[in-house]
Copies of this chain bind each other. A is one copy, B any other.
Amino acid sequence: MPDAALIQRDESDSTALPAPYLLFLGDTTEAAFAKTAFGLRDWASDRCIGEYALADATVTTGLEPMTPAHAARRGARAMVVGVANPGGLIPDSWLPPLVEALAAGLDLVAGMHVRLADLEPVREAARRYGRKLFDIRTPPANIPVGTGRKRSGRRLLTVGTDCALGKKYTALSIARGLQARGLDATFRASGQTGILIAGGGIAIDSVVADFASGAAELLSPDADPDHLDVIEGQGSLFHPSYAAVSLALLHGSQPDLFVVCHKPGREQILGHPGYALPSIEDVIDLTIRAGRLTNGAIRCAGVSLATNELDDDAAARVIAETSARVSLPVADPVRGGEAFERLLDACTS
Contact with B along A200-231 (1 / 0, CB 8 A): 00001111111111100000000000000000
Contact of A207 among B148, B209, B241, B243 (CB under 8 A): B209
Contact A205 B208 (CB under 8 A): yes
Give the Cβ gap from A165 to chain B, nearest Cβ, in Å. 18
Contact A205 B214 (CB under 8 A): no
Chain B residue nearest to A248 (CB atoms) is B244
Contact with B along A267-294 (1 / 0, CB 8 A): 0010010110000000000100110011
Measured in the bound complex, the distance between the Cα atoms of B166 and A76 in whole Å is 56
Residues of B within 8 A of A290 (CB): 237, 243, 286
| A245 adjacent to chain B (CB < 8 Å) | yes
Measured in the bound complex, the distance between the Cα atoms of B244 and A245 in whole Å is 7
Residues of B within 8 A of A214 (CB): 241
Contact B210 A208 (CB under 8 A): no
Give the Cβ gap from A250 to chain B, nearest Cβ, in Å. 9
Residues of B within 8 A of A243 (CB): 213, 247-248, 251, 290, 293
| A336 adjacent to chain B (CB < 8 Å) | no
List residues of A (284-318) whose CB comes within 8 Å of B's CBs.
286, 289-290, 293-294
| A145 adjacent to chain B (CB < 8 Å) | yes
Contact A145 B241 (CB under 8 A): yes
Residues of B within 8 A of A205 (CB): 208-210
Residues of B within 8 A of A113 (CB): 208, 210-211
Residues of B within 8 A of A238 (CB): 293
List residues of A (9-41) whose CB comes within 8 Å of B's CBs.
none
7 A-B Cβ contacts within 8 A? A208-B208, A209-B245, A213-B244, A237-B290, A243-B290, A244-B251, A275-B293
